[in-house]
Amino acid sequence: MIRIPLIPLMFALFLAPLQVFAHGQLNAAELEKRFTNTTQHCRKEKDKSTCTTFFAPDGTIKRRMHADGVEREGTWNVDKEKDLICITWKGKTKALCFSAYRNQDGTVAMYKKGKLLSTVMTFFPGNVENL
C-alpha cells in the first residue's frame, strides 16, 4: 500500500493553483510606475477581444480595439487610498476602477469587484503606437 502524506497533498491540490493565479496586487506607487507613459496590449476577458491602450503622463488615456479599429479616449488616475487604477471614458460620468495583480508570466490581471475583466499582456515605454 502506498501512503501519501496528507499535508503536502492538500497543498498541491488547493494552494498551488493560487500561486499561478496571481503573484501579487500592485499598490498605488506600483500602479503609477507601471502604467504612467506606457503603451499596453490588452485582452478583454468577456469576449477575448484585444486592444492597445496608452496611459499618458498627463492623465489622459487612449485605446484602439484591434478587430475594428474603434478608438476611445478618456482620463485615468490612481486611487492611492484603495490601490486602484481608475478610468473614466469620454461620455461616461462614472469611473471604472480596477485592482491589478501581477501574474507569474509577467501579465497583469485587472479585476473589478473580484471579477477578472481584462489582462494586460505587454507593456512598452512611451506612446509606441501613436495613440
Buried b (16+ CB within 10 A) or exposed e, 15-24: eeeeeeebbe
Q: 33 — phi, psi (to 5°)?
A: -65, -40
Rg (CA), the chain: 18
Is the torsion defined by CA of 6, 12, 17, 19 positive or negative? positive
Tell me the HSE value of 50 on the side-chain side, using a 13 A CA sphere.
6
pLDDT for residue 52? 97
pLDDT for residue 15? 38
Q: Write out residues in the chain with pLDDT < 50, as ranges.
A: 1-22
pLDDT for residue 3? 46
Instruction: Give the span between the Cα atoms of 49 and 57, in whole angstroms.
Output: 26
The third-level CATH classification (topology) of the domain covering 23-125 is Lipocalin (2.40.128)
pLDDT for residue 17? 39
pLDDT for residue 60? 98
